[in-house]
């Protein structure tokens, strides 16, 4: 099955000054470099992250996007992140000089995430489906979503979709594809659906467990340098404040896997509280090296681990991600890791063909739908109002009556 789109580019400033649009506009501005934001440009297409910890032996560099697994891929921006990675990798590949290292899109499935109540629901056409979670909810007792069974969700989810989905040429494919997914866990179903949507092998997928042994030495040294990293996180707040962006991170975290649950590790000064007791920073680092599958980085440290063990050209993110990726730049200096560059994900609104045809009959282009004064056949002055919004409403009502 192939998806096709007519793409209309609409300036972020036209999107009603939404917080997300405004932030993406600032981060993508020409002066982003002067603000200290490490923005990707085609002139920097030969970039690659790296460190003394050793990068992958693969001959491919990556454009990386990621998200925790959710039902039916979760929010739309998860899908858009994958689209962004594929599109940008193609663009870099087409612009690269002959003989350059290949570039491919990579999706990081954050399957060790334990916020199950964020991913156990999906909304389709205004109707919501929630798969009940009966496990523990206490802090430090929730298992990662890769360990939470999803088998019992298959039939109720399919029944919900049969009622919620409109009858289109794609509906049978959607139902058949979802029915054939591996519902062992949120991670397996999510992985299968990404494969189905972006088949052909172009989009590579990776889960943290596949890289645990290589990430452990990086995380261990982070723990040894913890006080310096804490100071670096505070230093990273300054350029965001100067650019009018609220720093999203207030602290650093890493986790220990205890009895199947992902438990936040508490650090006070030079003392670290593990399941086995309170130890020094150095002893905690030793245990991480000896038991690599029992520890994982938090959100702020994961990008450093990624860039330390994989050759990454660009990391793609949404507004909040870009803000904290910007904030942690000083941490890279402490760890002597070369960071990947940053790029905003695609932000998109999908207009169904039927709606597009109706809007076209009313003389409304996509641009006009988002910019009240951009319509080619709605004349504010002729509408007899000094208020643009009122004029637009009046004109739309007039078009609507004509359609009836």
pLDDT band at 399 (very low <50, low <70, confident <90, very high): very low
Domain 34-211+300-344 classified CATH 1.10.10? no
Per domain, the residue ranges of the chain are 34-211+300-344, 214-291, 353-403
CB 121 within 8 Å of CB 129: yes
CA–CA separation, 348 vs 120, rounded Å? 24
| Beta strand residue intervals within 240-300, DSSP E | 254-258, 261-264, 266-268, 271-274, 277-280, 295-297
- pTM score: 0.85
Contacts of 308 (CB under 8 A, 6+ apart): 49, 50, 51, 53, 55, 215, 218, 335, 337
pLDDT at 328 > cutoff 90: yes
Residues above pLDDT 70, as percent of the chain? 79
CA–CA separation, 71 vs 75, rounded Å? 9
Average pLDDT over residues 95-120: 85
CB 275 within 8 Å of CB 263: yes
CA–CA separation, 395 vs 277, rounded Å? 70
Average pLDDT over residues 268-281: 95
Average pLDDT, the chain: 84
Going edge to edge, which strands form the sheet with 341-344? 204-206, 103-109, 61-67, 312-317, 341-344
Predicted pLDDT of residue 139: 76
CA–CA separation, 145 vs 188, rounded Å? 10
CB 39 within 8 Å of CB 341: yes
Of 5, 23, 21, which Cα lies nearest the Cα of 13? 21
Q: Which of 34-38, 273-277, 313-317 has the lowest mean pLDDT?
A: 34-38
Predicted pLDDT of residue 114: 87
């Amino acid at each position: 099955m192939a998806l096709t789109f007519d793409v209309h580019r609409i300036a972020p400033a036209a999107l009603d000054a939404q917080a997300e649009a405004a932030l993406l506009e600032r981060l993508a501005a020409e002066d982003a470099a002067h603000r200290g934001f490490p923005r990707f440009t085609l002139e920097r297409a030969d970039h690659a992250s790296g460190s003394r910890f050793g990068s992958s032996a693969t001959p491919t560099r990556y454009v990386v996007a990621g998200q925790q697994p959710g039902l039916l891929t979760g929010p739309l921006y998860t899908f858009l992140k994958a689209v962004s990675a594929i599109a940008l990798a193609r663009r870099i590949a087409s612009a690269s000089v002959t003989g350059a290292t290949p570039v491919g899109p990579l999706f990081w499935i954050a399957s060790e995430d334990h916020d199950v109540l964020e991913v156990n629901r999906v909304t389709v056409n205004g109707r919501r489906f929630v798969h009940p979670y009966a496990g523990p909810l206490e802090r430090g007792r929730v298992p990662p979503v890769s360990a939470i069974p999803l088998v019992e969700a298959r039939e109720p989810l399919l029944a919900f979709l049969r009622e919620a989905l409109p009858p289109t040429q794609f509906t049978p494919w959607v139902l058949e594809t979802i029915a054939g997914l591996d519902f062992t866990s949120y991670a397996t179903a999510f992985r299968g659906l990404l494969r189905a949507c972006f088949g052909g092998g172009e989009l590579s997928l990776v889960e943290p467990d596949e890289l645990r042994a290589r990430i452990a030495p990086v995380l261990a040294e982070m723990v040894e340098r913890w006080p310096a990293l804490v100071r670096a996180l505070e230093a990273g707040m300054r350029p965001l404040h100067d650019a009018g962006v609220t720093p999203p991170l207030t602290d650093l975290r890493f986790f220990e896997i205890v009895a199947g649950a992902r438990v936040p590790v508490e650090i006070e000064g030079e003392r670290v509280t593990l399941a086995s007791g309170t130890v020094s920073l150095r002893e905690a680092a030793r245990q991480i090296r000896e038991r690599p599958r029992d520890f994982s980085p938090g959100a702020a440290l994961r990008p450093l681990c990624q860039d330390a063990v994989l050759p990454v050209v660009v990391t793609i993110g949404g507004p909040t991600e870009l803000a904290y990726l910007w904030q942690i730049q000083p941490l890279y200096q402490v760890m002597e890791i070369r960071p990947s560059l940053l790029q905003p994900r695609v932000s998109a609104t999908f207009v169904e063909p039927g709606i597009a045809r109706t809007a076209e009959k009313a003389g409304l282009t996509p641009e006009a739908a988002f910019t009240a004064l951009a319509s080619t056949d709605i004349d504010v002055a002729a509408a007899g109002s000094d208020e643009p919004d009122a004029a637009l409403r009046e004109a739309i009502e007039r078009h609507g009556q004509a359609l009836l």
